[in-house]
Structure formats: structure tokens, C-alpha cells
Structure 1
Amino acid sequence: MTIVRYSPWKTRGLASQRAEITSLQRQLDRMFEDVKAPVFRTPAAELTETDDALHLKLELPGMEAKDIDVEVTEKAVKVLAERKSETQTEGKGNTRSEFYYGKYQRVIPLKARIQNTNVTAEYKDGILNLKLPKTVEEKNKVVRINLEQN
């Protein structure tokens, strides 16, 4: 028994096959051109809780502090940032880049209420560090657990 590879274009001439393949390739190219990168990227985050505060780290590489906007409420932190393109082409050269240029956004709900007026921030080496002090009520919060005996 001989195995034969099926080709839907076998029944037509070679020129017809090439025309159909080229047409299909153009359609696929147009489809992928229409698909754009997401409007916002989500930066990686790390949240640590201590008795007195929440410590939030966000990864925002290649940005300047002036391009980062932080909004803090008692229940959430919202970070907006934008990395602007710096592509420079000299002469007839081409640039191929895998860097992401555009907007970053992240909203992080907080599991403890914080004093949003006493938040401190530091941006260094592409990492945004936020210290979010807890409210007095959260620090003094005691939860009683009742255990049942068998």
C-alpha cells in the first residue's frame, strides 16, 4: 500500500495553485495586521503583608518616574505607566524590536484597609516600591476563633 499526501490543489494547474496560496497568504497577513497588541500591559506585582503595612512591588522596566502615575485608595492601588518608543533609524537600516512600547495598567485590590495619605513610594532600577501603612483599626483588629470539641 502506498501512502499519498493529499493536496486540495492537485487537481488544478501549478499557476492556479500558486494564485490560491498567495491569496490565502494575503488574507492571513491582513487578519494578523488587524490584531493589535493589547491596549494595556499588566506589570508583574509582589505584595507582602506585615503587622503595620502592605508592601507592594511592581515591575515597570525602562520607564522614567515621571511617566508613572499611582493612585491609592483605602481599598486598592491603581498604577498607570507608559513606555515611549525611542526607535532611531539611521540611513536605510531597519530595526526589529521585541520591546513593548505603550501603556501599562494594574489595579490591585488590597485585603486590608490602608492610610492612603501616608503611602511612600520609591522607583529604582525598574521596580516601583510602595509602602502602604495599615489603618489603626486594621492593626488592632483581633478575630476570635471558636473551636468545637468532639
Structure 2
Amino acid sequence: MAFPDLIPWARNRSVATSRPSDEGDTLLALHREMNRMFNDFARGLDMGLPARFGAAGEWPHIEIVEDEKELKILAELPGMDQKDVDVSLVDGVLTLRGEKKSEHTSAQYSERWHGQFQRSLQLGPDVDPEKVSAVFKNGVLTVTAAKRPEAESQVKRIPISNS
């Protein structure tokens, strides 16, 4: 079997080719096509993360951990080096930007992503801009931002009554 026969897409990569198993089961083929259409539609929607942290589906994928003293942002940047990434904090907005370069320029087929990226996250006024650090290890960027001491005192607890 030739390599192009293993790829489930036609030359223009937007129309699925028929598979031998789909020929006898039109319902299964319809199911796959409907899933593909919904996935394509959902890619353009903003679903998931609250507006404070940005939109879901953006790259790089992040994880945010927050406690009383600090905010920690972890960004997965596989295949990248520290020199390929720039981190900045301006007016409470953390921006990650960089470029992932392609290793092979003559690939026949690739599902790997490469190119420039920029991801901005609103951290808010509680973060102390003087106490922000970043560490890049094993393809994971970890940005730690300490909160200002007065940030905890600004929290007002509201009692909840049962009537």
C-alpha cells in the first residue's frame, strides 16, 4: 500500500475520500461527515475559558493555577527552545509570543503546526509586576506572578442568607 493511500483526505485536504468500510454503511459515513462539519464549525467559536483568561482553542495551550499568594501560568510549547519565546507583562496583560519553525520544508503531508503565535492573558491589577518570573523546561513555559499583599485585603466576603 502506498503512503498517500493511508491519508484519509483528498488532494485539496478539505473533502474526505471514501474508505472501503464506508461503502457498505452509509449511516456511518453520514455520521463521520456530520462530526467533521460540527468540528469545523466549533473551531471558530469562543467556548470554554472565561473572558478573563482568553478564548479556548488558542495556542499555546495553557493551564492556570491560582492561590492567595500567586498566579501560575503553564504553557505547553513542544519542540521549541527558550530563545524562540518572548514573555512580557504590560498593564496587567501577560503576552506570550514566539515562532515555531518547521523542521522539514518538503513534507508531503503534515498535521504539525508551525508559524508565529501570540497569546495574551488578562492577569488583572492584583499581580505585582516586579515579582514575575518565567522558567522554560522540557517544552513547558511556567510564568509565576506574585500577587500584591493588599490584593487579599480587597476581597469582600458577602454573607448569604437562607431567606
Q: TM-score, normalised by structure 2?
A: 0.58
The gaps in structure 1 that reach 5 residues or longer are 1-27, 33-40
Q: Deviations over 1:81-134 (max 9, x none)?
A: 101122266xxxx64332211012111112562011211111111110011100
Aligned to 1:110: 123
What is the alpha-carbon distance in structure 2 between the residues aligned to residue 74 and residue 135 of structure 1? 14
CA distance in 2 between counterparts of 1:70 and 1:87 reads 27
In the other structure, the counterpart of 1:83 is 100
Partner of 1:130: 143
Identity of aligned residues (%): 30
Give 1:51's aligned residue. Answer: 68
Paired with 1:98 and 1:142, the residues of 2 have a C-alpha distance of 46
Q: Which runs of 5+ in 2 are unaligned?
A: 1-10, 16-57
Conservation of the 8 A alpha-carbon contact between 1:74 and 1:113: no
User: In structure 1, the residue corresponding to 2:158 is in which secondary structure?
Assistant: coil
Matched residue, 1:13: none
Match of 2:109 among 80, 96, 99: 96
**Residue 85 of structure 2 aligns with which residue?**
68
Give every structure 1 segment of 4 or more consecutive aligned residues whose post-TM-superposition deviation is greater than 3 Å.
146-150
Deviations 1:47-97 (A, max 9, x none): 1111100010011111110110111135221100101122266xxxx6433
**CA distance in structure 1 between the partners assigned to 2:140 and 2:133 by the alignment:** 14
Query: Which of 138, 141, 146 matches 2:154?
Result: 141
Call closer, same or farther: CA 1:131–1:118 in 2, change over 3 Å. Answer: same
What's the RMSD between the two structures over aligned residues?
2.6
State the secondary structure of the residue aligned to 2:127.
coil
TM-score, length of structure 1 as denominator length: 0.62
Paired positions, count: 110
